[in-house]
Amino acid sequence: MYSFTYQKPASVPEAQACLERGGEAQLLAGGQSLTAAMKLRLSSPKALIDLAGIAELAGIRVAPDAVSIGAMTRHADVASSEALRATLPGLAQLAGGIADRMVRTMGTLGGSLANNDPAADYPAAALGLGATIVTNKRRIRADDFFLGMFETALDDKEIITEVVFPVPTRSAYAKFKHPASRYATVGVFVADFNGLVRVAVTGAALVVFRATELEQALSANFAPEAVAALRVDDSQLNSDLNADAAYRAHLITRMTMQAVDTALAGSAEA
């Protein structure tokens, strides 16, 4: 490591004041990505502003039409929330499959979205559900939030406070995960809003995206066979040691079918 200052504010305004002082400060949420990047010298902030002491940033509020989750809510708390499982099971399911137990215990919703790793799970949920990312300054639609690889619409002095997820008729997440990291080689979140379907894909490209052809097919017929024969364009997909673009395109279709199956099974049980 190297020397840096550490601050632990007790409120959002206090955190904002710390940011305004400048000095190349960076916010610390769960720290699961940032601390690793600092050890490798990929990130070298002069100051860390730890948000863990701000109680108002954590918690889950469930209503019939929307779920509000504080930015500092841990993945494990999202996964284990009985109220969330009953109202928005696809999101709880996704959180329960993030990385390993240590990451789920320490990692946070806001930290994941702000980091915007191209293979992270939460961006698929936010985009698939049409969430609203609420900051200390404004409200940002998920469709406008994810700009590129590790790039979001947040400015340098902006703090995510909560995320509001609309409640769909049914939803589910399916992930073909890397066996070591459990990051998504391809992950697909499917949400059906009374016949209007959103499909968000993570892990396959440089940034999470919506698969419009799959959305159209599922809006007409919410069933796995509706997309079984669709071939996803692989021209903008990643090719690496884990999977080439053509295989990722194949996985997008297969993971979509799996997510639809899970969503249908969940709605049948309800």
Tokens 């903008």 correspond to: 236
Are 65 and 52 contained in the same domain?
yes
**What backbone torsions phi and psi does residue 176 show, to the nearest 5 degrees?**
-95, 105
**CB-based contact 116:146 (threshold 8 Å):** yes
Alpha carbons 262 and 255: distance in angstroms, whole number: 10
Residue 190 lies in a domain: yes
Extract the tokens encoding 209. Answer: 């995206």
Alpha carbons 35 and 40: distance in angstroms, whole number: 9
Alpha carbons 84 and 78: distance in angstroms, whole number: 7
Alpha carbons 67 and 41: distance in angstroms, whole number: 37
Scanning 40-108, the segments in alpha helix (DSSP H) are 75-80, 82-87, 89-96, 101-106
Alpha carbons 172 and 255: distance in angstroms, whole number: 10
Instruction: Give, as one character, the DSSP assignment of residue 108.
Output: B
Residue 270 lies in a domain: no
Give residue-wise pLDDT tens across range 145-166: 999 999 999 998 899 999 999 9
Q: What is the pTM of this model?
A: 0.94
Structural domain total, the chain: 2
Are 83 and 185 contained in the same domain?
no
Tokens 């999470």 correspond to: 208
Q: Which amino acid, one-letter code, is at 201?
A: V
Full residue range of the structural domain in which residue 72 is found: 5-166
Are 85 and 204 contained in the same domain?
no
pLDDT of 39 > 70? The answer is yes
Residue where one domain finishes, among candidates 166, 184, 214 = 166
Give residue-wise pLDDT tens across range 82-107: 999 999 999 999 999 998 898 999 99
**CB-based contact 196:170 (threshold 8 Å):** no
Are 133 and 175 contained in the same domain?
no
Give residue-wise pLDDT tens across range 2-21: 688 899 999 999 999 999 88
Extract the tokens encoding 187. Answer: 């992950």
Residue where one domain finishes, among candidates 112, 136, 166 = 166
Are 36 and 83 contained in the same domain?
yes
What mean pLDDT comes out for the span 38-62? 89
Residue 260 lies in a domain: yes
Beta-bridge partner residues of 138: none
Are 145 and 48 contained in the same domain?
yes
| Residue 48: CATH number of its domain | 3.30.465.10
